[in-house]
Amino acid sequence: MSASTGAVRLHRVLRAPAERVFKAFVDGDALARWLPPHGFVGKVHEIDAQVGGGYRMSFTNFGTGSAHSFSVKYVELVPNERIVHTDRFDDPNLPGEMTVTITLKPVLCGTELSIVQEGIPAMIPTEMCYLGWQESLGQLANLVEPSIPDGA
């Protein structure tokens, strides 16, 4: 990682079991629902949720129609505990590889979630990454926290 890249660290407690939170990170339909920040529509083009596999996804700005895509490769997958993946933007103007480490820890009221994203391209302000992640994690909570019985 060069000195010109950024890093963000996020922490959140979710009122949901670790199994449900983990699933939201490895299920394509779930990723498309919660990961895009506000104002963007997400599409997972392909996914292979195993070490060495990954997914390719795009975010489309709903207002303007412009899109950017990226590829993720799973480096480590410990069910319900830890995910490490690398991300690479398809845009050559956003070079380099980011590393994202997601740690899940069961706590009394649900799951403690810690995320570290390193190697953010220098031209992306880290405060914009924080803003996007905050929006995404709010949407993640909306997806994983409800416990809805079948048939409801």
Residue 1 pLDDT greater than 70, yes or no: no
Domains of the chain by residue range: 6-144
Residue 2 pLDDT greater than 50, yes or no: no
Distance from the Cα of residue 82 to its chain's centroid: 13
Tens of pLDDT, residues 44-85: 999 999 999 999 999 999 999 999 999 999 999 999 999 999
Give the 3-state secondary structure of residue 112. Answer: strand
Give yes or no for a contact between 117 and 7, defined as CB atoms under 8 angstroms apart: yes
* Phi then psi dihedrals of residue 80, to 5 deg: 65, 10
Closest CA to 23 of 105, 109, 81: 81
Under CATH, which number does the domain 6-144 receive? 3.30.530.20
